[in-house]
Amino acid sequence: MNDNASRSSDSAAKSSRANRRGVRPLADLIGGALAPACRKRGFATADLLALWPDIVGERYGETTQPEALHWPRRHEGADEAPEPATLVVRCDGPSALFLQHELPQVIQRINMFFGWAAIGRIKIVQKPLKRPKRWEIPTLRVLNEREEAELKSRLSGVEEAPLRAALDRLGRAIIAKRRK
């Protein structure tokens, strides 16, 4: 058998295995897209960014953000563990003072997350935090009598109350958006 035939059968087998797996987590799908942006800032993965509030705790989760991770240069032929990095943390003004006093505990928490002494120092930069845009739920128009009757007739065959309520909300949203 030639190489092209074996490659096509291998790819067919892989795609059939992928289809059998079912639903995949969103993190698996977008992890590859986020990796270059994270590496640009010195982060090997997006885990530190995504789990930052859990790592540093409630007090600093909302008032600080990791900005960059600066690794020292490695010497040629050095086989020992790399030297700890410097984590640059964006912080609002009032929290910077408190964070400064609790740096050893925060460094310890971050290193526990990594499983080794990855961070040796934290550099605090006082800047406004980058807040993700929050999406507002649009207000939907009120359905007219004909639309209400149509929705009610479509849901009349659903016996389970929780399912009927969920389908009613979904139906109202769809009808309100489509027909104006």
Where in the sequence is the domain holding 113, given as residue range(s)? 32-126
Whether 96 is covered by a domain: the verdict is: yes
**What's the predicted TM-score (pTM) here?**
0.52
Residues 120, 173, single domain; the answer is no
Whether 118 is covered by a domain: the verdict is: yes
Residues 105, 160, single domain; the answer is no
Residues 77, 118, single domain; the answer is yes
Q: Which tokens in the block code for residue 24?
A: 């995949």
pLDDT of 171: 92
pLDDT of 24: 65
Domain count, the chain: 2
Whether 132 is covered by a domain: the verdict is: no
Whether 76 is covered by a domain: the verdict is: yes
Residues 116, 168, single domain; the answer is no
C-alpha 34/C-alpha 50 separation (Å) is 11
Whether 139 is covered by a domain: the verdict is: no
Residues 39, 69, single domain; the answer is yes
Residues 122, 163, single domain; the answer is no
pLDDT tens-digit map of 155-167 = 999 999 999 999 9
Whether 52 is covered by a domain: the verdict is: yes
Residues 119, 150, single domain; the answer is no
pLDDT tens-digit map of 51-92 = 888 999 888 888 999 988 888 877 666 667 678 889 999 998
Residues 78, 162, single domain; the answer is no
Residue predicted with more confidence, 43 or 69: 69
Residues 80, 151, single domain; the answer is no
Whether 137 is covered by a domain: the verdict is: no
Residues 65, 122, single domain; the answer is yes
Whether 37 is covered by a domain: the verdict is: yes
Residues 168, 120, single domain; the answer is no
